[in-house]
Amino acid sequence: MSGHKAQKPETITAQALGWIDAETHAVAPVVHASSTYLRDVDNQYRTGRAYARADNPAYDQPEAVLAALEKGEAAMLFASGMAAATAVFQALAPGDHVVAPKVMYWGFRHWLIDFARNWGLEIDFVDMCDLALLKQAVRPGKTRLVWLETPANPLWDIVDIAAAAEVTHAAGARLAVDSTVATPVFTRPIEFGADLVMHSATKYLNGHSDLVAGALVTRAKDEHWERIAGVRARIGGILGSFEAWLLLRGMRTLFPRVRMAAANAQTLAHQLAANPHVSRVLYPGLPEFPGHAIAARQMKGGFGGMMSIRVKGGERAAIATAAQVGIWKRATSLGGVESLIEHRASVEGADTPCPPDLLRLSVGIEDAGDLLADLETALAIAHG
């Protein structure tokens, strides 16, 4: 590591903490590909490395960078965002009570319903934007975990992390925050009282749509954190060495990428709010958006690159609009350098909170004028 302290998160990411390979003095990180490690002659592992599933040196640097960014004590990489999120719940015990949001990533919501409940966890889904409902849902001495997501995919609801942390801790539970969309560029949930932070690292942390990964960051390396580490090692939801290297490379441009995407999204949100074919724009950066004041307080310097629009004319017009774009790509996922558009109700199914007229937009780093012109043309064509 460099002998100078990295004072700013921009420096932490750009230099990846300034680590230099001790053997070669390489500035670019090396790839650690080995799956196993040599024992000492007396059969001990004094290096601390035994097998890559439990302890891979390829994880050391990206985990250290992420922990530094989130101001946590430690971080842990996983094979996907789902692997990271589910590990938090798999580290709980049957009979434990959990509170989760009604609006959240649909794949994880389905996992909680279809799998976690079958394993004996009690789960209540509540509107996390309503603090009174959260207070009613937690059970002191029984609730072990409160999970929230902010901004919450795909309606971009904003949850007050500090207020949720106060309620959660008063009940003797831990607060975990899915901060995939906010990223450490705009929000560091641990600073607001969160105990755990989750990222689908596939998205903004990597930022190039060429990797699937997940990550957790903890405020403290407590007993629950050690159980999560055991889940990763024993169930095996691990990231490959080359994928860990790719993730670290992506994180080194995190700040300029995310800031540019957020600036583009802010521009588009204001312009699309005035479009005659759009009934509503869902974006935390708009003053009229519910939760804007909270977002302005806990999202420092920007409101992220994710937004949704509700298209006049209903589902037919929304799907027709997505069919007419050229620069925007009709694809699942978010957080890449390219802009994506998707009709989410078609993806999420009958129990989706998405209105049928909603299009989810992952705003990339292209020219904002090009993105706006492409979308406005598609809206005009769809409305004939």
Taking only the tens place, the pLDDT of each residue in 55-111 is 899 999 999 999 999 999 999 999 999 999 999 999 999 999 999 999 999 999 999
Q: What SS3 class is residue 340? A: strand
> Do residues 361 and 306 make contact, with C-beta atoms less than 8 angstroms apart?
yes
Say whether 203 is catalytic.
yes
Set 157, 160, 178, 357: catalytic member = 178
Cα–Cα distance measured from residue 328 to residue 364, given in angstroms and rounded to the nearest whole number: 9
Check whether 357 has a pLDDT greater than 90: yes
pTM: 0.95
Residue for token digits 């350098």?
A: 337
Q: What is the pLDDT of residue 5?
A: 59
Check whether 320 has a pLDDT greater than 80: yes
Cα–Cα distance measured from residue 45 to residue 31, given in angstroms and rounded to the nearest whole number: 21
The CATH code of domain 9-251 reads 3.40.640.10
Set 109, 174, 203, 280: catalytic member = 203
User: How many CA atoms does the CB half-sphere of 136 hold within 13 Å?
Assistant: 8
Say whether 142 is catalytic.
no
- Where in the chain is CATH 3.90.1150.10? 255-382
Phi, psi of 60 (to 5 degrees): -55, -50
List the structure tokens of 126: 């509540």
Say whether 60 is catalytic.
no
Set 105, 144, 160, 283: catalytic member = 105
Superfamily grouping for domain 255-382:
Aspartate Aminotransferase, domain 1 (3.90.1150.10)
Say whether 178 is catalytic.
yes
Q: What is the pLDDT of residue 182?
A: 98
Set 49, 53, 227, 312: catalytic member = 53
Which whole number is the average pLDDT over 140-147?
97
Q: What is the pLDDT of residue 240?
A: 95
Q: What is the pLDDT of residue 351?
A: 84
Residue for token digits 């929304």?
A: 318
- Give the H/E segment covering residue 97: strand 97-101
- Where in the chain is CATH 3.40.640.10? 9-251
